[in-house]
Structure 1
Amino acid sequence: MKKRLFFNKYNEMKYISNLDLLRVMDRLLRRSGVPIKYTQGFHPRPKISLGNPISLGTEAFNEPMDIDLKEEMTNEELMKRLNSKEILGFEFIKVIDIDGKTSIVQDYKDMEFEIGGLGSSINKFIEFISQEEIILVKEKKGKTTSKDLKPRIKKYRIDGEKLILVLESMSPNSLLKLCGIKIEELEIKKIGMVK
């Protein structure tokens, strides 16, 4: 029985890496008495799938996670058990049933971000993403490759003093690095996945 859970990760929890998040989830599921399935083999792992990694220091909202249960459980009971542990800066907000043929990465390619911060940095960033092309040049094993990141910028708009940005399978961090803006200058929130 597969379930897709949606969670918020904010405040101090934004400093938990993706790998640590999997460990937190494993412990939380066990402590909550959720009958999770485990992989076979020498080092069994819980059957948990996350989407694209959340950048360290980024708050994430409506973030999906798939789990595989070995017993029937209602969505209400599952959510009640998981939220009963009250982890500061972390909460589950929704649970849905899914079939085994779907995956988060296939279902959600686009991610929506809210970016705020200093006006000059935001203006510089908007000017940068407004270009016709945004070329990323990489060198690996003596070979140089280049890729245009512009097609991955699906849309953006200004909402008050915030920039709302929709990106395909990418975090704003790589764009900020190319633009020469330090991540600490801006406040980045991943506000959801777009189907």
Structure 2
Amino acid sequence: MKKRLFFNKYDDMKYISHLDLLRVMDRLLRRSGVPMKYSQGFHPRPKISLGNPISLGTEAFNEPMDIELRDDMTNEELLKKLNSKSVLGFEFVKVIDIDNKAASIADDYKEMRYEIIGDESSLKKLYNLLSQDEILLVKEKKGKVETKDIKPRIKFFEKKENMINLIIENMSPNSLFNICDIDVKDISIKRFCVEK
């Protein structure tokens, strides 16, 4: 039985890396007594699937995660069990049933909305970059320099006072911050899953 959970990760939990988040989930599911399905082989792992990684220091809301259960459990019971053993800065907000043939999280949730709050100078640099016709990302890979236009991945942006609202597809906003030389320590970033 497959379930899709939605969780919030905020306050100090925003400093948990993607790999550490998988470990946290594994421990939390075991502590909660959730009857998980495990992979086969020498090192069985619980069947957990997360979407695109959340950048370190980014608060995330309504983030999806898929799990496979060994035994049936109601969504309400699962939500209650998980939240009873959860830690400060981390909570589950919703559980839905999904079909075994359901698309992966990465396919279902390609777009993410970000709220970026910062000083006028940082936001102006970001807004000016987003307003360009082309946004070129230069990467060196195996001794070759690759240049890619990432502007098509910017689906929406607007500036309101000390905040930029941004919707991007399959990309971390960190690439944009690097291009326009914004230190992530100077801004606050919140990520919201855009549901279909």
Q: What is the TM-score when the length of structure 1 is the normalising length?
A: 0.97
What corresponds to 1:65 in structure 2? 65
How many residues were matched structurally? Answer: 195
Tell me, what secondary structure is at the counterpart of 1:191? strand
What corresponds to 2:42 in structure 1? 42
CA RMSD, 1 decimal: 1.0
User: Are 1:2 and 1:68, in contact at CA under 8 Å, matched by a contact in 2?
Assistant: yes
What corresponds to 2:77 in structure 1? 77
Deviation at 1:194, TM superposition (A): 4.1
Unaligned runs of 5+ in 1: none
Tell me, what secondary structure is at the counterpart of 1:128? helix
> Bigger shift: 121-130 or 136-145?
136-145
What corresponds to 2:140 in structure 1? 139
> Bigger shift: 155-164 or 131-140?
155-164
Give CA-to-partner distance per residue, 1:81-131, whole Å, 9 cap, x none.
Answer: 000014100000000000112210010100000000101110111011110
User: Are 1:7 and 1:63, in contact at CA under 8 Å, matched by a contact in 2?
Assistant: yes
Deviation at 1:141, TM superposition (A): 2.3
Deviation at 1:176, TM superposition (A): 0.4
Tell me, what secondary structure is at the counterpart of 1:49? strand
What amino acid sits opposite 1:95 in the alignment? V
What amino acid sits opposite 1:118 in the alignment? D
Tell me, what secondary structure is at the counterpart of 1:19? helix
Unaligned runs of 5+ in 2: none
> Bigger shift: 13-22 or 185-194?
185-194
1:121 paired with 2:122, answer yes
**Distance (Å, rounded) in 2 between the aligned partners of 1:28 and 1:140:** 38
Tell me, what secondary structure is at the counterpart of 1:62? strand
Tell me, what secondary structure is at the counterpart of 2:124? helix
**Distance (Å, rounded) in 1 between the aligned partners of 2:23 and 2:46:** 10
User: Are 1:112 and 1:194, in contact at CA under 8 Å, matched by a contact in 2?
Assistant: no
